[in-house]
């Protein structure tokens, strides 16, 4: 029996659309173990297209995909294509540079 989901994951922009195109819900409830999981591993489980991921919001801050997600974190994957000034204001620009290595 699988453990109960303890973390809600949201997808923004192209990632939202990509999930819907596959017949999957745009948001997901998942189980994250006590030791946590990387955003990269969670994205892989959710079948997100890595070439469309810019970064991940975790508890209102932007990180690259190597960031550890813990149970109950507020998580949202950000797609590429966020317009210019918003990228800098939200911190997406620097997260995307780190994620480009993935």
Q: Are 17 and 55 in contact (CB under 8 A)?
A: no
What residue ranges of the chain have pLDDT lower than 50? 87-88, 93, 96, 98-102
Per-residue model confidence (pLDDT) at position 3: 86
Q: Are 7 and 30 in contact (CB under 8 A)?
A: yes
DSSP state of 50: G
Q: Which residues of 10-31 are buried (b: 16+ CB within 10 A; e: fewer)?
A: ebebbbbebbeeeeeeeebebe
pLDDT tens digits, 72-94: 999 999 887 755 555 445 555 45
Query: Residues with Cβ < 8 Å from 93, sequence gap 6 or more?
Result: 87
Superfamily of domain 7-99: Beta-grasp domain (3.10.20.30)
């Amino acid at each position: 029996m699988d453990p109960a989901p303890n973390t809600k994951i949201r997808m923004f922009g192209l990632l939202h659309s990509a999930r819907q195109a596959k017949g999957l819900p745009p948001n997901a409830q998942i189980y994250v173990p006590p030791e946590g999981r990387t955003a990269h591993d969670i994205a892989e489980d959710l079948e997100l297209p890595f070439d469309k991921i810019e970064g991940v919001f975790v508890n209102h801050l932007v990180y690259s995909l190597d960031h550890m997600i813990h149970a109950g974190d507020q998580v949202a994957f950000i797609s590429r294509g966020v317009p210019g000034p918003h990228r800098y204001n939200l911190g997406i620009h620097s997260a995307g540079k780190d994620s480009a290595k993935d």
